[in-house]
Chain A
């Protein structure tokens, strides 16, 4: 009998085995700050903001089974919170990001409560409508004094504090990286603990979960709120990175992008968010080079192909490869 500490071959990245990979990734991420030019740093920052947003959506849809086709709305709320607080309140940027999280938590919970009665398809419908309506709501003329209407709000990327020898791009990238690490840690804690088990139990069989003492109403609405908070933080970071918020950045297609990211990365996985974020950041650009109008068509085809061929996304593929490798390794039981 081997004395190894490994669990089942299909285990997700779990301490202590996964830690070297994580540290390597972190070191590479920090190295990018000094090796890359301004525009690449901007793209990396956007990848991080999408990754946080995707963690949020995955928390709701992957781990809790509530389908949301309108998460772009929460991304927009996070972004506009930053815009409004900076523009009209003079709040420093590092306070705006947690503020965006809190506001999105409240809005998400408020949406999640009536959504308790909706399941599956009907929730997808309601959130689809939310996603379509978001730009219209942002353009509403009675809110123009705050939101800047169609023109939106212009922001300025913050400079490095304490006179550090970093450019604004570099500093904000490191800030986003730190935020991403914190959000991932929070998510990991949430998912691995009792809350995460409750959330997944609701996804797998909500009636059995309820009869085992899991308060469905509480967990489902809190998950909605938490998911919205994560996505809002992503939106907040993106607002500062792009230095501009406007209603037309947050159309239905943003919600669809987030969905694509979750499906590509792996539904119900944490690290899938990174793969998904890289995908939705770079693939539209590549697709546009092939054909300007068909860029979105590529998304659609990718969605359908992934569902048929790789329903577990990239993380699912990695898990399958790892399982196969461990099954074929010498010394493994037949």
Chain B
């Protein structure tokens, strides 16, 4: 997804001289190197200095540019939080803060490199929008939206590398602010977003094999959340399952519960999130998720499909 983001941004930058990228010492993988060599004046590396990364991006935007601020998610959002809130949110500037490798994908780098609460933190800022594409194809659409259409600040949560394609045969196109059905069924609806969609697909396959009719939905826009779309999903399925790689507070799961309560939904609603705990163990990405109760086996046991 990282390379897809870079390639898409490079293509957008070719067409629009207002696109700048401000990076904080992140390796210029893939097309980022092309961006850097072909448009050196629009590629700014601030070094290990995330506050000035956001501040300079704000200054560029105040002069009419469309900057992207890009580094690993923990550093792009947490370290310069007040700059993200005041310079971007308060001034409502069209700057995209890219959180690369969000979630627990940096599974061996430890808790300092995990981004478990980014949706809650970014989502709490007025004016901030949030996109979290689930595969490289959706990442293209999301990046284009940020580069071309977005009117205000955006937090773009993307994966690192190697994500498979899930949206090639999606039933619906990518539309900012709308949930997107990748599959449509009538019994169970799985709501997910971002890299963990891979697990959601696995669960959907299992449930279908067990004879259930399954909807699979990419909730790529976390803010503004498509409340009407989620309400409809809650009212047209007997069982809704939310799977997200995020703390239990402030993400998709608690908002789905709120919508269910507000709209008096009577479906069964199961949510699977990371715990409200730091992760001190190591291993693969899947090992870390499993230690927080998220794996195909654990989920299928709980939703009663085994």
Tell me whether A and B are bound partners: no
- Partner-B contacts on A (CB < 8 A): none
